[in-house]
Structure 1
Amino acid sequence: MIVFDVIVNGEVKETIKPLNQKLKDIYLFMQKESHGLTQKYGANIYLNRRMEYK
């Protein structure tokens, strides 16, 4: 499962888990989500993508 860590000023604030795991759907989801994150945390945001295994 692909998850995204939201890092603000070097600190992980939250982890985003897209419901759908198709790459095209993840891309569209993260475009929408990133706009809300800039409003929530400001401009100093880094998204770190990682794989989460169960």
Structure 2
Amino acid sequence: MTPPPGPYSGKSSLALVARASAFTFGIVYGSVKLKILKMKAKSHKKAEAKGHH
């Protein structure tokens, strides 16, 4: 006897929506974080260049 499918068993549409939105959020969050890190690295290099003169 198998138990009825729960909300996160992968059988219900709610689980698919939750998984898809989590995946999308991960991609968006990752790209935003990457942009911020790149901007920080650029400003840090500029500050270092100014400090050497």
Q: TM-score, normalised by structure 2?
A: 0.34
Structure with greater proportional strand content: 1
More helix by share: 2
Larger Rg: 2
Q: Larger RCO: Structure 1 or Structure 2 (Cα < 8 Å, ≥ 6 residues apart)?
A: 1
